[in-house]
Amino acid sequence: MNKGWNRIVPYLLIAPSMLLFLVFVLIPVIRIIYLSFTDYTMLQPPVWTGGANYMKLAHDPVFGRAVANTAWYWLGTVLPSMVIGLVLAALLTVRLKGLAAFRALIYLPGVLSSVAVAMTWLWLLDPLKGPVNRVLSLLGIAGKNWLQSPDTSLGSVIVIGVWTGMGFAMIVLLGGIQSIPDSLYEAAALDGASGISQFTRITLPLLQPILLFLFIVSTIRSFQVFDLVYILTGGGPANSSTTIVTQIVGASFQDYRMGYASAMAVVLLAATMAITLLQYKLGSRNTGME
């Protein structure tokens, strides 16, 4: 093959995915950015309103609540699910009978559809018949209506988010741990390093690129949380568990305010990109991911 052909082939190979990216991602994003500057009800053509939607967003207390809830969800799910996933991944590297079954069981919530997860937790947290309250009552603790109380609705969703996220974190980190050469651990053992030492001095540093990847992906997933919230609480009661995406869906498909919803989507996109790039910038200093 000549040199010119060699230059073209890579572009040809990535062309299909780039085309899909263009059609299904980039063009819709540009369209959403345009719509965010309009008043659009889906049934009439959009009317240009400049920055009115953004001005309104800045003073919308419900959107402010949604931003705060999304931030709490991010704080409450990303790090805990990564820490639990890391501990589980470390524990599941030992040779045990039935290890594959353990791994599969822990990973299961990560692959289940969020609808199935939500339905399961609706049953578990049922205030009268649910196992959670029954166990608590055996311990002499009064149960609560976890999903219908403004004090506990968001916390309940966060716990369920951790449960679904830890399996994904575990499987990614398990792959990372297994890719670390055994010779490093053998050499450390010969030098008298303890298990904890080996973990902190070998495993953790070598897992940094994977941890960064996991952190970024989990952040994005937590920012876009919708289906769990929608099924478990509908964002209520009284917006106590509403998130940015539930607000986007409400404004667009329930109130038909597509322009306003697009402005929310643009804010979400900008926030996600900013935080992710910041994480990437800070994390890549130590991981050599540049």
Partner 1 sequence: MKHRLTAGFMMLTIILALVLGGCGATSSSGAAGKTTDEAGSEKVTLKFWYPNAGEIGTKAIKETIASFEAQHSGISVDLTVVPWDQYFQKLAVAYSGGTQPDVHGLGFGQLISTVDQGKYLNLQPYIDKDKWEGASDFFPDIWKSGQWKGGQYGLLMPDVRPLAWRKDFFKEAGLDPESPPKTVDELFDYANKLKKTENGQTVRSGLDIQTSNGEQSYLSLLLLLGQNFYDDKGDPQFDSDVSIKLVERLVDLYKSGGFMASNQQSANGTPFQNSQAAMAFISASQTASLTASVGGDKIGWSLPPEGTDGSKTSLMLGTFLTAASATKHPEEAWEFIKFWFSKDNILKYTTETGNLPPLQSVKADYLKAHPENEISYEAMKNAQGYPPAKEWSIDVKYLRLALEEAYNGIKAPADALKENAKLARDEIAAAQ
The site for partner 1 (CB under 8 A) is made up of 21, 24-26, 28-29, 41-43, 122, 127-128, 137, 142-143, 145, 148-150, 216-217, 220-221, 223-226, 234, 236-240, 245, 248-249, 252-256, 265, 268-269, 272-273, 276-277, 280, 289-290
Please, how many CA atoms are within 13 Å of residue 202, restricted to the half-sphere of its CB?
A: 21
- Whole-angstrom Cα distance, residue 209 to residue 239? 37
Nearest distance, CB of residue 150 and partner 1, angstroms: 5
Distance from the first to the final alpha carbon of the chain: 32
Nearest distance, CB of residue 248 and partner 1, angstroms: 6
Total residue length of the chain: 290
Contact at 8 Å (CB) between 48 and 38? yes
Beta carbon nearer to partner 1, 186 or 255: 255
Nearest distance, CB of residue 233 and partner 1, angstroms: 9
Beta carbon nearer to partner 1, 69 or 203: 69
Beta carbon nearer to partner 1, 23 or 96: 23
Nearest distance, CB of residue 229 and partner 1, angstroms: 12
Nearest distance, CB of residue 32 and partner 1, angstroms: 9
Residue entry with tokens 């919308």 = 60
Beta carbon nearer to partner 1, 180 or 269: 269
